[in-house]
Amino acid sequence: MVTLKNFVKRVANAVKVTPELQKNGNPRHIDLGLLFIPLKQWDDELDLDELQCLLANLIALSLIKGYISHEKRILVLSIDAFPDANNH
């Protein structure tokens, strides 16, 4: 789960500095496709529902702060989305 959190953090950092990757011009809105496509290459059996479940687990474990908009297919991150691991 920590590896997945680190991957999400790297994608979030890339989105923050790359306006054309931002969903609706918001750097905290991560299109699930940006996470799904590279992970699908790593695990060809992964589907979007499973990715959303993995992300929900990251949120439930407080490894990331935010929520998933299933309708819009985005991960909405909080301002401080990646709390310091020492706080757990």
What pLDDT is recorded for position 86? 59
CB 9 within 8 A of CB 29: no
Residue ranges with strand state E in the chain: 29-31, 66-69, 74-77
pLDDT for res 24: 84
**Backbone angles phi and psi of 61, in degrees to 5:** -85, 5
| φ, ψ at 76 (rounded to 5°) | -100, 115
Q: Give me the pLDDT at residue 84, please.
A: 80
pLDDT given at position 23 = 86
Residues of the chain with pLDDT under 50: none
Please tell me the predicted confidence (pLDDT) of residue 7. 96
Encoding tokens for residue 30? 């991560």
Task: Write the class of the CATH domain 2-87.
Answer: mainly alpha
Residue-range domain boundaries for the chain: 2-87
What are the pLDDT digits (tens) for 28-52?
A: 999 999 999 999 999 999 999 999 9
